[in-house]
Amino acid sequence: MPHRALIEKRPWLLASLAAGIGFWLLKDSAVPGLYLTALKGSGVALLAGYALARHRGHDANTIAAVMGLGALGDVLIEFKLELGAVAFLIGHLVAIRLYRQHRRAAPAASQRAAALALLVLTPLTAFLLGGPLVALYALGLGGMAATAWLSSFSRYRVGLGAVMFVISDLLIFARMGPLAGSALPGLLIWPLYYFGQLLICIGVVGELHRRQHLPAGSA
């Protein structure tokens, strides 16, 4: 990796990892709430900074906006659940547009089936767990995951990250109902969400950077 790329890439990612992991370790501690909220928002906000530092162009700006809206949602949800959900939903809609602009040319039937399952089962499961308003939000969430899965970005990064995001949110909905007394959601929601966002961001930005440096005429 070129020296300049190291300078641009490592500080943002290391700072994001420190904030993301630090929040998970401290979220149940005696640290004052406002400090924890700031730490929580910093994890994904720093990914937006990484996207802008690592690659130039409209698509990099778009994924940075998605990360920024996610960070805003992380903070707003601590004050009012509905406000956080709106920020996340807008981020999903922006991401859907990006992924549709980078559709995979000829996805296999199994890939289309997986995307359809994400699109349909995500809001259906959310409806069963939390009702119609939760399902309305989850329609955007499922659309984001489905289009990520069918995009030309890596399914092992962007696709997997989107699925992790879905599972994290479904655990939030389950905590309102069948898993209300379980410790499992509290253990898994944040790691699945944060590392899902991390995979999405580095997957999109890394692929954009790779394409920029392909020889002329390469696919």
Give residue 96's identity as a one-letter amino acid code: I
177: pLDDT confidence band, cut at 50, 70 and 90?
Answer: confident
- Using CA atoms, how far apart are residues 89 and 99, in angstroms rounded to an integer? 15
Helix (H) or strand (E) holding 42: helix 33-54
What pLDDT score does 33 carry? 86
CB 57 within 8 A of CB 208: yes
Confidence of residue 65 (pLDDT cuts 50, 70, 90): very high
What pLDDT, on the 0 to 100 scale, is given for residue 208? 94
pLDDT in tens, 14-59: 999 999 999 999 988 878 889 999 999 999 999 999 999 988 899 9
Q: Which has the closest alpha carbon to 93: 31, 142, 37?
A: 142
Residue 2: its pLDDT value, please?
Answer: 46
The whole model's pTM is what? 0.92
**Residue partners of 32: CB distance under 8 A and separation at least 6:** none
pLDDT in the model for residue 214: 67
Structure tokens at 85: 């959900």
Cα separation, 42 vs 94, in Å, equals 20
Q: Determine the angle formed by the axes of helices 33-54 and 3-26, rounding to 10 degrees.
A: 160
pLDDT digits (tens, 9 = 90+) for 80-137: 999 999 999 999 999 999 999 999 999 999 999 999 999 999 999 999 999 999 999 9
Phi/psi at 151 (nearest 5 deg)?
A: -80, 170
